[in-house]
Amino acid sequence: MPEAVIIGAGPAGSIAGLILARAGWNITIVEQHRFPRDKVCGECLSALGISVLERLGLCDHVGALEPAILHRVCLHPSNGNPFQIELPKPMWGISRSRLDRYLLDQAVLAGARLLQPWRYEGIGESDSQPLRVKLRNLEANEIRLIEMPWLIIADGKSTFSRRGRSSSADLGIKSHWSRIVGPCDAIELFGCHGAYGGLAPIENDRWNAAFSVPTAMARESGGDLQQVFERLLADNPAMQLRFAGARRIGDWLASPLPRFAVRRDWPARTILLGNAAAAIEPIGGEGMGLAMRSAEIAAQMMIYSKGVWNPRIAVELQRRFMSLWQVRQLACRAGGVVASSPTLARIASPWLRHNRPIAQAVLNWAGK
Ligand SMILES: Cc1cc2nc3c(=O)[nH]c(=O)nc-3n(C[C@H](O)[C@H](O)[C@H](O)COP(=O)(O)OP(=O)(O)OC[C@H]3O[C@@H](n4cnc5c(N)ncnc54)[C@H](O)[C@@H]3O)c2cc1C
């Protein structure tokens, strides 16, 4: 029976584990956190991710977890002048604690073995055959070395990048809210000076607010994320209106915001998925969809290989990932730059309003 170890049980790791386990592979998933766990994310799943769930026969089940169905995006630049556009296909608002736990449960039900809370701490000789993977049990603080012919890295960060290459100078922050009076079928984007954020409904009448902010702003606020939020609030009147009377029902979470193109320097016998392979500006809400689709493509290719490693698999995957990420990466970066510049947003907003077919075409082009 072919076997592989998967590091990380986010959407990328769980989807890869699920597909390979269903195909009869002997899969071990290693996850450092106990679930359910929260995560910095806008929590909007794009049509790309929903289509993966559909092909795996999971769509109705995730639908039963009661995600908010999101049909449109409203952009509120800091100077007013809002702009709204229909999404070509709906997105789902669902908390990461709920979605990630469900996907991991499905991988385990399909037969994957789970080591949790365990941490991956590196590999021995990278071209040795098989790989020697070093894992630590975080409860017993015990080290285990396992030998595996394949290693799948889905740890959500660029583990193998050279220092300083992958993280941007921005920080992602998020928290959950109740008592928001706003549209229940829309993602609202708020532009600020040098920052932007999104507000979207999720299950159980809760709302997710997630922002991309300069790390310097968080530093100036002494790391007080509520203070950072209040600075953003002061910058955007539409956002003030939306949060008037709202109640924060969770702590602020923060994490570095990675942004890098598809990596091509994969170690031997190793496959990178999701945010380990490439990281996109979060404004488009495509990160989870890309994680799931990259996992699906890689798992299918591994199954086709019948478990026999061939360096051409990595080359072909990198090529497929480039076509998956490249255009979205450009479109989302442009969106992020416009949303966080009041001047550009002031120019773009009326132009987009009067050229709807072009705005719609851009969304299609960006894979929405
Ligand atoms: C502010 C912000 C807003 C965002 N909004 C959206 C959005 O609305 N929609 C969207 O689709 N995407 C959004 N994203 C992006 C999305 O969160 C990521 O693209 C997505 O989580 C990537 O999935 P993944 O499976 O690759 O990695 P992750 O979800 O990061 O999962 C990686 C897992 O690996 C585990 N792990 C890490 N290191 C180890 C280790 N050494 N050993 C064991 N386990 C390990 C982690 O605990 C984690 O569970 C946003 C991101 C940010 C920062």
Question: Mind listing the pLDDT tens digit for each residue in 3-32?
Answer: 999 999 999 999 999 999 999 999 999 999
Give the CA angle between residues 154, 158, 159 to the nearest 5°.
80
For residue range 330-353, list pLDDT tens digits in order. 989 998 999 999 889 888 888 888
Average pLDDT of the residues in 349-359? 83
Residue 11 Rama label (left phi>0; alpha psi -120 to 50; beta): alpha
For residue range 63-108, list pLDDT tens digits in order. 999 999 999 999 999 888 888 999 999 999 999 999 999 999 999 9
pLDDT at 146: 92
- What one-letter code names the amino acid at 180? I
Residues with Cβ within 8 Å of 328's Cβ and at least 6 positions away in sequence, in order, are 280, 284, 286, 290, 366, 367
pLDDT at 157: 87
Which residues have CB under 6 Å of ligand 1?
7-13, 30-33, 40-46, 119-120, 154-156, 172, 174, 210, 212, 257, 274-275, 282, 285-289, 291
pLDDT at 101: 98
Average pLDDT of the residues in 203-225? 96
Q: How confident is the model at residue 42 (pLDDT cuts 50, 70, 90)?
A: very high
User: Domain-by-domain residue ranges, the chain?
Assistant: 3-40+95-163+260-331, 68-93+167-258+337-365
Whether residue 163 is predicted with pLDDT greater than 60 in this model: the reply is no
Q: How confident is the model at residue 160 (pLDDT cuts 50, 70, 90)?
A: low
Instruction: Name 5's bridge partners.
Output: 28, 151
Q: 151 C-alpha vs ligand 1 centroid, how far in Å?
A: 18
Whether residue 173 is predicted with pLDDT greater than 60 in this model: the reply is yes
pLDDT at 164: 47
- What one-letter code names the amino acid at 233? L
* Best-predicted range by mean pLDDT (118-122, 164-168, 331-335): 118-122
Q: Which of 123, 137, 275, 325 has most ligand 1 atoms within 8 Å of CB, for mutation?
A: 275
Q: How confident is the model at residue 128 (pLDDT cuts 50, 70, 90)?
A: low
Return the residue whose CA atom lies nearest to atom 19 of ligand 1. Answer: 287
pLDDT at 346: 83
pLDDT, greater one: 43 or 159 = 43
Average pLDDT of the residues in 312-320? 96
Whether residue 179 is predicted with pLDDT greater than 50 in this model: the reply is yes
Q: What are phi and psi of 160, to 5 degrees?
A: -95, 5
Whether residue 248 is predicted with pLDDT greater than 70 in this model: the reply is yes
> Residue 154, exposed/middle/buried by CB under 10 A (0-12, 13-18, 19+)?
buried
**CATH superfamily of the domain spanning 3-40+95-163+260-331:** FAD/NAD(P)-binding domain (3.50.50.60)
Neighbours of 27 (CB within 10 A): 30
Share of the chain above pLDDT 90, in %: 77
Neighbours of 245 (CB within 10 A): 9
Angle at which helix 356-365 crosses helix 311-339, to 10 degrees, equals: 150
pLDDT at 357: 85
pLDDT at 127: 57
DSSP 184-218: TTEEEEEEETTEEEEEEEETTTEEEEEEEEEHHHH
Q: 10 C-alpha vs ligand 1 centroid, how far in Å?
A: 6
For residue range 275-310, list pLDDT tens digits in order. 999 999 999 999 999 999 999 999 999 999 998 889
d(CA 260, CA 221): 27
Question: Was domain 68-93+167-258+337-365 assigned CATH 3.50.50.60?
Answer: yes
> Residue 310, exposed/middle/buried by CB under 10 A (0-12, 13-18, 19+)?
exposed
CA 200 to ligand 1: nearest atom: 8
CA 211 to ligand 1: nearest atom: 1
Average pLDDT of the residues in 255-269? 89
pTM of the full structure: 0.96
